[in-house]
Amino acid sequence: MSHQPRKRFGQHFLADRHYVERIVAAIGPRRDDIVVEIGPGLGALTEPLLDRLDRLHVVEIDRDLAARLVETHPSERLVVHLADALEFDFAALPAGLRVVGNLPYNISTPLLFRLAEFAGRLRDLTFMLQKEVVDRMVAAPGTPDYGRLSVMLQYRFDMARLFDVPPGAFRPPPKVDSAVVRMVPRPAGALAARDAARLAAIVTAAFGQRRKTLRNAVAGLLEPGDIERAGIDPGVRGETLSVDDFVRLANAAR
């Protein structure tokens, strides 16, 4: 049964066995691990994962692909969730969950923020993403790729870029390079922000207009005195601040 990749789902199917093996090796699944794969597609990762697991969950939005998986695998081994990963309740699966997948480029950023909401229940996440997104995820302060995504994910996860994957490894080939990243939730005790929503609001404002000084960017959220109380110069730009700096800002707000 052939399948025509659907642009609206951002479908690019991994087809190079070498990179499949590298990704599975990076995941290192054990028999009793609780694993969910996002966007299994044609099963390039699904099959080798099933070889190493007692049971695998998958979340697939494409009805045809989901039906194919249901038809070709026993339900006690492969649990197929026909759903949009942006709306799927990952809390419905057991804690200690390992999340893997070749994430669709068109939803990767909102999906990462969605998964961060469940970080306390997750053991780790191993994803293939657009290289540009991974660059932003792991970027350091003061670099061009550093922004809201960098700060919010680095606050919640320890992250490591593993390796790049060229367009030729996919069918159809995307127009961009990809990269594999591992994300491990930081322990609750390391999350020092007293108000996570306030932290998110300050980070969003700080990167909303990069040319603005911090004083002007966060006006309405923080007073200059709050910024100084955090030990930060109100005249700097948000892109120069570390994750810890942003946490101190959020905690200094009255």
Same domain for 174 and 206, yes or no, is no
pTM passes above 0.85: yes
CATH code where residue 206 lies: 1.10.8.100
Residue 5 pLDDT: 43
The residue written with tokens 């939005």 in the block is 61
Q: Is 163 domain-assigned?
A: yes
103: DSSP letter = -
pLDDT tens digit sequence for 61-109: 999 999 999 999 999 999 999 999 999 999 999 999 999 999 888 899 9
Same domain for 210 and 163, yes or no, is no
Same domain for 184 and 202, yes or no, is no
Q: Is 227 domain-assigned?
A: yes
pLDDT tens digit sequence for 26-42: 999 999 999 999 999 88
Same domain for 53 and 139, yes or no, is yes
Same domain for 141 and 212, yes or no, is no
Q: Residue 103's closest CA among 2, 9, 29?
A: 9
Q: Is 170 domain-assigned?
A: yes
CATH code where residue 88 lies: 3.40.50.150
Q: How far apart are CA 151 and CA 53, in angstroms?
A: 34
Q: How far apart are CA 85 and CA 103, in angstroms?
A: 10
Residue 253 pLDDT: 84
Residue 6 pLDDT: 42
Same domain for 167 and 245, yes or no, is no
* Contact present, 214 and 156 (Cβ < 8 Å): no
145-151: long-range contacts, CB 8 A cutoff, minimum separation 24: 146/239, 147/207, 147/239, 148/203, 148/204, 148/207, 149/109, 149/112, 151/203, 151/207, 151/243, 151/246
* Contact present, 50 and 144 (Cβ < 8 Å): no
Residue 209 pLDDT: 85
Same domain for 183 and 200, yes or no, is no
Same domain for 80 and 179, yes or no, is yes
Same domain for 36 and 122, yes or no, is yes
Domain that holds residue 237: 196-252
The residue written with tokens 């127009």 in the block is 175
Residue 172 pLDDT: 83
- Chosen domain end from 174, 189, 204: 189
Residue 8 pLDDT: 42
Question: How would you write the pLDDT of the chain (254 residues) with one tens digit per residue?
Answer: 444 444 444 457 899 999 999 999 999 999 999 999 999 988 999 999 999 999 999 999 999 999 999 999 999 999 999 999 999 999 999 999 999 999 888 899 999 999 999 999 999 999 999 999 999 999 999 999 999 999 999 999 999 999 999 999 998 888 899 999 999 999 999 999 999 999 999 999 999 988 899 999 999 999 989 999 999 999 999 999 999 999 999 999 87
Residue 7 pLDDT: 43
Residue 104 pLDDT: 83
Q: Cα 108 to chain center, whole Å? A: 7
Same domain for 60 and 174, yes or no, is yes
How many domains does one find in the chain?
2
Same domain for 54 and 97, yes or no, is yes
Cβ neighbours of residue 61 closer than 8 Å, sequence gap 6 or more: 9, 39, 82, 83, 84, 85
